Structure 1
Amino acid sequence: METYRLIRNADWIVTMDEHRSRYRHADLIYKGNEIVAVGPHLEEAWRGRCRFDEVCDATGKIVTPGFVNAHHHTWQALIRNIKVTQGLKLEPWLKVMYEVYKDLTPEVARAGVFASLGDCLKTGCTTSNDLWYPHPVKTARLMDAEIQAAAELGIRFHPIRSYHSQVSDVVVPEVVDTTERVIADATRLVKTYHDSRRFSMCRVGIGPSIAQYDTEEILQATLEFAEKYDVMVHGHLAESRYEWEYTQARYGCTPVEWFRRHGLLGERFYYAHCVQLDERDIRLLADSHTGVASCPISNMYLSSGACPVRALMDAGVRRIGLGVDGPASSNSSNMMEEMRVCYLLNRLCYGDKPCSAEDILYMATAGGARALGRDDIGVLRPGMAADIAILDWSKLSYAGGCYDPVDCIVMSGDARMVDTVIVNGEIVVRGGVLTRVDEEEKRQYVNAVGRGLLCKSAQRLPALRADLQ
């Protein structure tokens, strides 16, 4: 008799399928890494024809697809809450960051993943992007270290080999590389780690940090590389007013229009932020089926603005997700918090036509999966990956508001709600605790590596010393 795993008697199963179906007092059955059935009374119907080798009682809990973090910079977990960057907007903030980036090492990459993606997992996330854009030329294999650490945690991972090809007011020479070296490293990473199969745990991508600041030679090479290896292209787009003004002054158009002229829009592409948009920009993104990753907490922290999520959805953008961005500008990697803030920020800025709580949950699940180019995650239905978040809404923290499960998750939910997280059929968070690593050991490791990084950087940035006393 075949063996399966059962999640039984959930208060609600919120599938986020194309009909946004929900099931009350329902069950979910999966085998290996694949969901085989979702709905009410499944335990009784299946018990005679199979054996359940693991049963999870979900009474008092909500079952949703695992959350998808569509934009991240994991190493920044070691550079957060430092006084020298507080109160700065994006470009001045970046000038400080790049002084620290000169000292990035594989140890920093590894430690950053444990802090950032460990946090993501504990807040219900089962898949995460990571856009690694500063590569000190004298330091190799940063992305190898983060890919290996992500595998150790058990999270589904989409690392992006980003780059800089010329010095600017922000970008320092130490992280500027040649087209040949960038493409050679990206080729090595794809051949070593990229897996295009269904239920893949690692898919490597490529992309510029901010395309209009790079050479046209490397952009063309990026497009050719992405076509050759059939990988996704990701970067930043229209994040700040400075970027909009720079592109207007130099090229006479908006950032989105500049991307269109250079063949950087379409189903192979998805971009973070998309704050500084006009109506034509929104139409270009929609018509080209380009993906968007909104990062509301980071955009607030750096005073960049708010992504017009409702307008993008109304225009037909379906590849739209949420990203926690780098922890140095969001100060955590908390998907539960990102959902709540996204809902509230859109209420504040676009209150005449706000997003619903269900719209926000869509972004955190199916929409984020689409943005990453996935059709096998982000939804709970037969044939999809067993990536599942089990959220406990029976605690006192949520009492008095347990009516609609999606409203409770988005408007009242927080990390305390996350009980169990399943990635690719494996429980990687149980009772709110990571199962694959020792959290105390990793905490000590991350703190030690982070302090070492800032001690090096403080030789160039004396203001950092105040945080190291």
Structure 2
Amino acid sequence: MSTLLVRNIHTLVTMNAQREELRNAAIFVRDRVIEKVGPTSELPAVADEVLDLHDRHVVLPGLVNTHHHFYQTLTRAVPAAQNCSLFEWLKTLYPIWSRLTAEGVYVSTQMCAAELMLSGCTTSSDHLYLFPNDVTLDEEIRAARDIGIRFHACRGSMSVGESLGGLPPDRLVENEEHILRDSRRVIEQFHDSAPYAMARVALAPCSPFSVSPALMRESAALARSYGVRLHTHLAENQSDVEYSLAQFGLEPGAYAEAAGWVGPDVWHAHCVRLSDSAISLFGQTGTGVAHCPCSNLRLASGLAPVRKMRAAGVPVGLGADGAASNDATHLLGEARQAMLIARVLDSDAAAMTAREALEIATLGGARVLGRDDIGRIEPGAAADFITVDIDRPSFAGAQHDPVAALLLCHVDWVDYSFINGRRIVDQGRLTTVELPALVRRVNRLSAAMVNGM
């Protein structure tokens, strides 16, 4: 059995039921699970691995990313797509994305995971819905495993191309029988339902404008037969709402209900234009939402009414969203943006506090992904936590509340990150990948993909 001790923590943000914040605290881990939390003086003095933070670090649970498209790292800042709304943006990038390869999936997954982990994320989902050329979900799962992030792989799909009234070109859609067959395969091969699992699978038809109602219903039935979760995009902007009304005669929330896509095993990305009745429905059924503030701003989709959702009991987590619609992958930055948007949307500077935004980024994301073993620091939880050294220029003058300073001030990278009890970020550097070489590889593949080489 291996043990880990992190001691002399300046402020420990537990996110436990009492939302305790402990001074001069320590965490004792045994076999990748937190065993004890409390004052440094009351915890064991020795362990197989000891990290002394010298009363200079805030420690909090690892952040949880509930929505992303890792492959889009290869197409960030493409000039023709820089100033487009959602549908225009998609139509501009679909031809480029048709050149995606298995190598591109592996490399972009590692690049996105690296950025996420350096910005405080320890658990991420990803929604891969394009499978051209030799692409499979397997490469993404392998890349996430190799770099060390806790991962929820969403087997996405598109089956309705332009010839059938959908948005994607026909060459990028899949046969629905194949989608369901491959969905069953990846669940059986990769999904781990055990506590503290490092890899889980969800089924994720891309959106109402790229799959049929039949595939939505059959995917839901298949997922529930295996006990896995469901994920899709919903009500991302006004054009999304208008498509739903024109094609199905239903607004997005009502369409989701009709297709069987509500319940505690479902989460939807964006929900910027979700109606009040749908918000009430989601709250009553425990249907989750992935809030993606920067992407929604970048594409001018709107401001998601997160405060109203939370008041209605809707589970809300954070999502960085696609690396080509953000175009950054910084989860602490998303939490800050979520806090600021809530204040502007309600014209109320108290609409969301820094601590509420951090709760959404940790416990909120854990609930959206259906996990009770992450998002908090207390006995029995997974050893997923991050540290930020408060002795940095951006925290000067903010020592009276270093927890709020995590969002009110600026954090470029975290100093340490432990995932599953393993030190993944050490003094601001990744331990599982050679970052300069990875950047070079991403740039090479990106140039080839965008330029059609």
TM range, smaller chain: over 0.9
Aligned to 2:153: 159
2:446 matched to 1:450?
Answer: yes
Q: Secondary structure at the match of 1:158?
A: strand
2:430 matched to 1:431?
Answer: no
Which residue type is aligned with residue 156 of structure 1? R
2:345 matched to 1:346?
Answer: no
> Normalising by the residue count of structure 1, what TM-score does the alignment of the two structures yield?
0.93
The CA distance in 2 between the partners of 1:141 and 1:45, in whole Å, is: 48
The CA distance in 2 between the partners of 1:455 and 1:111, in whole Å, is: 18
1:179-216 CA distances to partner (integer Å, 9 max, x unpaired)? 21001111221122111111100001102111354222
Q: Which of 94, 117, 124 is the aligned partner of 2:120?
A: 124
The CA distance in 2 between the partners of 1:87 and 1:66, in whole Å, is: 33
The CA distance in 2 between the partners of 1:413 and 1:388, in whole Å, is: 19
Aligned to 1:79: 75
Whether contact under 8 Å (1:78, 1:450) holds in the other structure is yes
Which residue type is aligned with residue 293 of structure 1? A
Which residue type is aligned with residue 160 of structure 1? C
How far apart are residue 234 of structure 1 and its match?
0.5
Q: Which of 34, 48, 52 is the aligned partner of 1:57?
A: 52
Whether contact under 8 Å (1:296, 1:306) holds in the other structure is yes
Which residue type is aligned with residue 288 of structure 1? T
Quote the sequence identity (%). 35
Which residue type is aligned with residue 290 of structure 2? A
1:340-394 CA distances to partner (integer Å, 9 max, x unpaired)? 1111111111223611111110111011011011111111010000001011111
Alignment of 1:258-297 (within 5 A): 258-297=255-294
Moved more, 66-75 or 221-230: 221-230
1:44-64 CA distances to partner (integer Å, 9 max, x unpaired)? 4424xxx41211112210000
Q: Which of 206, 224, 227 is the aligned partner of 1:227?
A: 224
Aligned to 2:174: 177
The CA distance in 2 between the partners of 1:334 and 1:15, in whole Å, is: 22
1:210-231 CA distances to partner (integer Å, 9 max, x unpaired)? 1354222212220121012111
Aligned to 1:307: 304
CA RMSD of aligned residues (A): 1.5
Q: Secondary structure at the match of 2:244?
A: helix
Whether contact under 8 Å (2:105, 2:135) holds in the other structure is no
> Normalising by the residue count of structure 2, what TM-score does the alignment of the two structures yield?
0.96
1:100-142 CA distances to partner (integer Å, 9 max, x unpaired)? 1211110110111121111001111100110011222xx2443
Aligned to 2:44: 46
The CA distance in 2 between the partners of 1:454 and 1:212, in whole Å, is: 25
1:210-263 CA distances to partner (integer Å, 9 max, x unpaired)? 135422221222012101211110011110110112222333332011111221
Whether contact under 8 Å (1:212, 1:258) holds in the other structure is no
Which residue type is aligned with residue 146 of structure 1? E
The CA distance in 1 between the partners of 2:88 and 2:104, in whole Å, is: 23
The CA distance in 1 between the partners of 2:25 and 2:114, in whole Å, is: 29
How far apart are residue 415 of structure 1 and its match?
2.1
Stretches of structure 2 lacking an aligned partner (at least 5 in a row): none
2:146 matched to 1:149?
Answer: no
The CA distance in 1 between the partners of 2:15 and 2:93, in whole Å, is: 38
Aligned to 2:105: 109
- The size of the alignment, in residue pairs, is 448
Aligned to 1:390: 387
The CA distance in 1 between the partners of 2:313 and 2:221, in whole Å, is: 28
The CA distance in 2 between the partners of 1:432 and 1:244, in whole Å, is: 42
